[in-house]
Structure formats: structure tokens, C-alpha cells
Structure 1
Amino acid sequence: MARAGASPARRADAAVTREVTGIPLQFPQARAWWFWFLAATSLLALYIVSAWVLFVRGVGVWGNNIPVNWGIAISNYIWWIGIGHAGTLISAMLLLLRQTWRNSLNRFAEAMTLFAVVCGGLYPILHLGRPWRFYWITPYPSTMRIWPQFTSPLTWDFFAVLTYLTVSLVFWYIGAIPDFASTRDRASSRPAQVFYGLLALGWRGAARHWARWRQAYRLCAAIAVPLVVSVHSEISLLFAAGPIVGWTSTVFPPYFVLGAAFSGFAVVSMLATTLRHAFGLQNLVTDRHLDMLGRLTLACGMMTAYGYVSEVFASLYSGDPHELQTLHDRLAGPYAWSYWGAVILNFVPLQLLWLGRLRRNPIALFAVSLAVTVGMWLERYMLLFSTLFRDYLVSSWGPYRPSFWEWSLFAGSIGLFLTLFLLFVRMLPMISAFEIKEARFEEREARRG
């Protein structure tokens, strides 16, 4: 606690630490938290039941079959991995660019990345049919000298997702160590002191600690930024590498990366407005932060719109009858509802963010972000099934209808994400207090200079 004679700046810094660490130590919204936690764990129970049915009865309980052998399990995988991209962009890239406004958003955005990648990374394992054999796609030293098929997209997924998850986890944990120490020092109960003390790894704030910390933090940021591009580019190559009409496009890597950032910034915006309202964090997550999130969402959305236009142009320019048929199926065929749903939800409400007062309005920003999140799910759905259901041969045509267990697993994955995020909010500092104080100190020094 700051002394009575301390300067206003030091008292303000102490207030930031007290506010951030006070949320996990003296949780102010216990009743509301329990309500949402019970709802999330109910969906998580549905996830467990759906996975158990899948293990017992096999992937035949899903609706995917020939020719649509990729169901919404794969579209959900792409959707979840995409959501996780914004956390890395906000934290790592803006850290390297020295953008201090990220400090109020990076901690819970990084946590969102971790939980979204977990939700997405489980889908390829569940999709294997024999998920308990997932380690076969790892290059472990087998006594039979059988190595994984490195040209298989499943192997690409394993390396891409595992690398992204590992680097994101290390980056998040290193960045949170000073705040774990602050929470440890303010904890009054012995279990809390031990818990946060173990997480703090003996941090005492010595000059040597800070020097090593800055080196490790920036090194992880430099490693994480290329992964944003490489991971979703790899996912796009799962499509572009196959001889499927509508997928063999060179625009896919940037199209997928921008679409991932688009959906990710939308989810970060929803989380920011929700946490800001629930915990009264208007002095930390300010109108400027909402404005910047709105700008980033708008920019990524307009670049994603270019990908839509490019796809249509490429199909028309090619003149290939199969490409034109796929384009017709998207615009006016059986999956036109998903195409136009994606276009309308992604780009019509998005135009509201051209207005600064709506970007800074939490309700408007939340509504636009929710529309974008749903629209990007529809875009993944459309991209998969409008191409797979109609192959080159008429004998390979066939519709796709997701089964109940596919929908239940998807709903359960949302419960898994919410459960993990609610536990994070309840137990750990959700905002980087020390980085906010550091940015304020630098601003004061700049004004003095």
C-alpha cells in the first residue's frame, strides 16, 4: 500500500496494482461468476459426453462421409485456431512495435489464444477415428522404425498447432511472472501465497531479474509473430494442396491469416467490453482501447473482404466450368445461405465501425464483434462444404448434414473455452499491471523531457 506522503504518481501506480491483484484475491463478482461457470461447465459436460460417444461408436456418429469427409469438426478447428491469432498479434507484434496501449489487453488476449488453440487442437485428434493413437503422427523413436507421413496434413497440423501452443504458453507465462509476484506479496492466506509464489518462480524484482525477463519476453515475441503467419498459412495449404475445385487458389494463405485475425480481434473486443463492464475497469480498458480494437477489426475485415472479391474474380476469370459451378453453388446453390450469411454478418454491421463514436460504444462494438464471430464461422462452413459436396464426377456428388453429435461437440467446445477462461479470470491477474505502470512512467518522463 502506498504511503500517505507518496507522490500522486506512486499512489496511482499502487492503485493499479491493488485493482488488478484484488480481483483474484477478493473476487468482486462471485455470484455472477458462479452462474456463468455453472453454465459453462454444463456445456463442458456435453463436450465430454459427445467425445465419449465418439470414442465408443466411432466417427460414424458424425454426418461426414464420402464425398464430404471433412465435417464441421474441421471447420470448427479452423475457426478456433483463427480466433487465437489476435492474442498473439496484440501481445507480440505490438510489443515489438512498442505500442503501449496493448498493456491493458494483452494478458486476457493471450489467455484467449491459449484456450482457443486448445479447443481447436483437440478436433484433429477427435477426427482421427482412433484418437488414442494420436502419437503415431509424432516422430518418436519407434522400435519398428515407422515414421509419420510428413506429406500428410495431419502431421502438418500436429507440428503447427503444438509449436503455436507451446510458444504462446511460454510467452504468456513469462509476461505474467511479475504480476504473479505482486499477487503473492498482497495475498493474505497461506494457500494463496504458496500458489502465487510457485507461479512467480522466486521473483523479487532485482535488476538482474528484470534484465533476464526483458530478454526472454522479447525473444518469445520475436518467435511468436512469424507463427501467426505460418500456422494459418499451413492450415490454408491443407486446402490448396488438394485437387479440389474452389480450393486451388494462391490467395488462400493471406486470406486465411487475415480472416483469422478478423475473427480473433472480434472475440478480443467482446471479451474486453464484457470484462470492462463486469469489473468496472473503465480506467484501465478505456475508450481508446475500444477505439483501437474497432479500428483493427475494421482493417482486417476490409482486407478479408478483398479475399472474397478475389475468389469470385478468380473463378470468373478462369472460365473453368467446375469453378463456375462451385461459384454458382455458393451464390445460389444449396449452401448459398452460408455464403450470404457470412457476407452479411461479416461486412454489413462492420461498416458501423467507420464511426468513432460507435467504435467507442461498448454495446455497439460488442454487437458488431458478435456478428463477425458468427459470420466467420459461416465462412468456414461455406468454404468446406460448397466445394466437397459436388466433385468432378456426378457419382461423387452428395449432400452433407451435420449430426446431433457434431453440433453437441461444437457447443461443448464453447463450454470448454468458457470454463477455462472463467477459471483464468477467477484465479489469475487478467491485466498486466506492471506494464501499465511502466508505460505511465515513460509518459511522465517524456513530458518532463
Structure 2
Amino acid sequence: MAEAFAAKPGALPVLRGRHDLPEISGRISAIVLDGRLPRYFWAAFFSCFVFVLIFLYSITYLISVGVGAYGINVPVVWGTMIGNFVWWIGIGHAGTLISAVLLLLRQPWRASINRFAEAMTLFAVAMAGLFPILHLGRPWFFYWLLPLPNTHMHWPQWRSPLVWDFAAIATYPSVSLMFWYMGLLPDLAVLRDRAKSRPAQLFYGILAIGWRGSAFHWARYQTVYFLMAALATPLVVSVHSIVSLDFTFAIPPGFHSTIFPPYFVAGALLSGFAMVLTIAIPLRWAFSVQDLITLRHMDNAAKLMIAAGMIVIYGYASEAFFAWYSGEIYERTMMWQRAFGPYAPLFWAMLACNGAVLQLLWFRRVRLNMPGLFAIALIINVGMWIERYVIVVTGPSRDYLPSSWGEQSLRWLDFGILFGSIGTFLALVFLFIRILPAITIFEVEELAEERGSAG
């Protein structure tokens, strides 16, 4: 709170205070090399690891019993698995936007948060990629989606969005991983040079692949880094647009909507930045790096959430308006049932979380209040999951034949897999913070140099 009140209007720096280069590299690398971790770090990690075990048990049970164990039925054959898939893919979008798009736009405030945002992207996409495979029913045959011949001559149907999903998901983590690793190279060399134990020197030395920081290295690095940023930028739009085509190519009421691609992309950015704040706010407090991850970062991320969230709200209004304006009884019935039927509590909770709560971010005092901003980010994360679930289940549950209407009954396995995936994601974030620098050393040093020369 004191930090928020101390910030004057229009006076939010990217870095607070004066920093020299050895001090920056020493502080960030010490978190990894010296093990300067908060005393509750490992307690939090092992709490998450409990959910990792729940996740593994739930997957084992699912494969042993079958997909009917987690509550899907006819007509709702897409349930929490596909909802989780869309939610996790969306969370991964903010990392690519912060890393690639803001790099191309020369935005200096990305420097302190891009590293863990990129890692968040990789972990979120890894979680997302599991759910379509588990939903197949026979996950060991997932490779049938690949254009590979086999003894049964199964070839993928290239007109199916599910095949496009496989290609998009495979492309997205591949490019994101290469881009993330490229950004790590200079920092890995710093860890290699500062490491005191021989195993650490070998570990980071191998990962640094001979980086020496010469002018030749930096010239090639800048060229390749910007080229990969340009390559990754279209993925922000294309991946979640392709995910939305899973729905728009289907015929149930509420699915075949042309608003879905931009609507899904905006929702992805909203949930992605909410997760960035969910990680960044505890991170800057736990490791006392408020001078490196400043209120400027929090304020800008909150503003981007407002922009994406207002597009999402427009999508909600557009869906309702065109269901009425079309005059089609099935669309009108589906929308009415969504608002006043069996899923009405979830529908109104979605509007409250993603619509009403979002409006608080218009106020600068709220954006600079870290506990309040953290709570809003958590609420929006919950709201975006509810939105994905509502979209997935309400259309098929109210299709063209009233005699076949039905609802999905959530079971323990739905929650075990959802919370297990969240715990696995957070456990991976904890391990990342322990093994690799969560803040980009060389980019923060560049910012410090620029501020020093400007001063």
C-alpha cells in the first residue's frame, strides 16, 4: 500500500533507484547460485507437488477406467477436458505477447517480466497439450493425428480443426521454446562465470553453448532474436484463432459464430496477463525486487487487461445480440438457457468476474494496489475458466432436438485433473525460479545503462 501511495501521477519508472551492472547481475544470479530463497519457498513447492501427485493419480484413473469417468455424456461430449485445454492455451498467450510483440515495438518495460512470462507460456502450453490427448479416449493413438502412414493406413482429415490444433500446438511451443532459450543465452553465461561449484559451471556452461559476449556474438544474437520475435508474433493470433475453429466448424447452437477467433484471442490475452500478475506480484514481494519489477509493469499489465477485457465483453454482447437478431429459435433458446437454465449460476459468475470486477482496473489507485490487483487477477483467472466451460458445454447441452437435451455432471475427476494441472504448472514455475534467472539480467542492465546515460 505504501508503495502505491508513494507513486506520483505520471511518475512510474521502469526501474527504481540507481543500479550498477555488477549489482544487478549479482542480485539476480544470487537467487539461483546462492540459493537465497524465502524460507517458505520449499513449503509452497511441496504443497504444489501434492497436486502433482493428484494429477498423476487422476490421469492414471482416467486411462484405466475411460473418459466416461469424468462426467461427459451424450449430448455433452466435450467437457472440462476441452475447457481446460482452451483455458491453458489462453494463459500461454501473454508470454508471447510480452516477449515478441513488445520487443518488436521497443517497449522497455517488458525487460523485467519477459523471462518468467516466457517460461509461463511453455508450462501452460505443456499443460494444454495434455488435455486433447487425454480426451481422445485412447491417448496412446494420438499419433494418428500426424500425417504419417501406418499399417492401418489411417491418415488425418485435414479439413478437421482437430488436426489444425495438433499442428498449431506443436508449432507454438517449438517456436516459444527456441525464442525463450535464445533470450537465456547471455544470462546462462553470467551464471556459468559466477558459479562456484564445478557441477554448476559445467551445467550452465553447456547450456550457454560457448557464449562469450563478443561483438560478433551480440550482432548475431540481435539478428536472430528479432527474427524469432517476428516469427512468434503471428502465433499470438493464429494459435487461439485455430482453437476457436474447433467450435465454429461445429453445428451446435452457439458454436458456429464468426466472432469466435478475435473473441478467443482477446480472452486469451486477458487470462494470460491475469496469470502474469498472479506470478509477478508474489515474485517481486518474495525476492524483494520491487525496484526491478516496478509499479510501472503492474500498471501496464493491468491496462492491457482492460483493453483485452473490453473486447471480451463486446464478444459477450455480440453473442447475445446476434442470437436474438438472427431470429433462429435454436440460437435464441441456447442463449436463454445459458442465462436462465441449469448453467445460469456459472454464466452470471462469468459476467461478474470478467465484466464487473474488470471495471475496477479503470482506477489508478486499484492498479497500483498490489493485494487488490492480485485478488482481481485471481478472480479473472477463475472467471476465464468458467467462460471456457460455459462455452464448451452449453451449446451441445441444448442442441436441435429437445428430447436429447442433457447436462454434464461434474465429478471428482474433473476437479482432480483441473487442480492437479494447476499444481503441476505452479511446481514447474517454482523449479524454474530455482534453476534459471526469473528476471532477464542483460536487458535490465541495458535499461540501467540507458537511465544512467540519460541522467
TM-score, L = length of structure 2: 0.94
User: Once structures 1 and 2 are overlaid, which stretch shifts more, 86-95 or 384-393?
Assistant: 384-393
Shift of 1:353: 1.2
Q: CA offset at residue 27 of structure 1?
A: 2.1
Distance 1:48 1:400, change over 3 A: same
Counterpart of 1:57 in structure 2: which amino acid?
V
1:23 aligns with 2:31: yes
Aligned position for 2:444: 436
1:202–1:141 CA distance, 2 compared to 1 (3 A): farther
Q: Which residue pairs with 2:232 in the alignment?
A: 224
Matched, 1:70 2:78: yes
C-alpha displacement of 1:443: 4.0
- Show CA shifts across 1:163-183 (max 9, x none): 001011111110011001101
The residue number in structure 2 matching 1:398 is 406
In structure 2, what is the Cα distance between the partners aligned to 1:334 and 1:368?
27
Instruction: Report deviation, 1:229.
Output: 0.4
Distance 1:44 1:226, change over 3 A: same
Residue 343 and residue 253 in structure 1: after superposition, are their counterparts in 2 closer, same or farther (change >3 A)? same
Q: How far off its partner does 1:28 sit?
A: 2.1
SS of corresponding position for 2:111: helix
Deviation at 1:147, TM superposition (A): 2.0
Are the structure 2 counterparts of residues 62 and 376 from structure 1 closer, same or farther at C-alpha, using a change threshold of 3 Å?
Answer: same
> Which consecutive unaligned segments of at least 5 residues does structure 2 have?
1-16
Query: Is 2:20 the partner of 1:12?
Result: yes
Alignment correspondent of 1:204: 212
2:364 aligned with 1:343: no
| 2: CA distance, partners of 1:101 / 1:352 | 23
Query: How many residue pairs get matched?
Result: 439
**Which residue number in structure 1 is paired with residue 297 of structure 2?**
289
Q: Distance in 1 between matches of 2:159 and 2:307?
A: 35
Query: What is the alpha-carbon distance in structure 1 between the residues aligned to residue 209 and residue 199 of structure 2?
Result: 16
Matched, 1:80 2:88: yes
1:101 to 91, 109, 121: 109
> Which portions of structure 1, spanning 4 or more consecutive aligned residues, are displaced by more than 3 angstroms?
141-146, 442-445
- Structural RMSD (CA): 1.5
Task: Confirm or deny that 1:61 pairs with 2:85.
Answer: no
Q: Quote the residue 2:9 is aligned against.
A: none
Post-superposition CA distance 1:353-373 (Å, at most 9, x none) = 111122111111101111110
C-alpha deviation, 1:153, in angstroms: 2.9
Instruction: Tell me by how many angstroms 1:257 deviates.
Output: 0.1
Moved more, 88-97 or 324-333: 324-333
Question: Could you tell me which residue of structure 1 aligns to residue 164 of structure 2?
Answer: 156
Q: Distance in 2 between matches of 1:162 and 1:94?
A: 23
Query: 2: CA distance between counterparts of 1:213 and 1:141?
Result: 39
| Cα distance, 1:141 vs structure 2 | 4.5
Whole-angstrom CA distance in 2 between matches of 1:141 and 1:237? 26
Give the aligned partner of residue 306 of structure 2: 298
Partners of 1:386 and 1:143 lie apart in 2 by: 39
Alignment partner, residue 287 of structure 2: 279
> How much has 1:54 moved relative to structure 2?
1.3
SS at structure 1 position matched to 2:321 = helix
Matched, 1:139 2:118: no
Question: Shift of the alpha carbon at 1:394?
Answer: 2.0
2:371 is the alignment partner of 1:363: yes
Checking the alignment, whether the CA contact within 8 Å between 2:38 and 2:287 is kept in structure 1 is no
Quote the offset at 1:280 in angstroms.
0.3
Q: Classify the secondary structure of the residue corresponding to 2:78.
A: coil
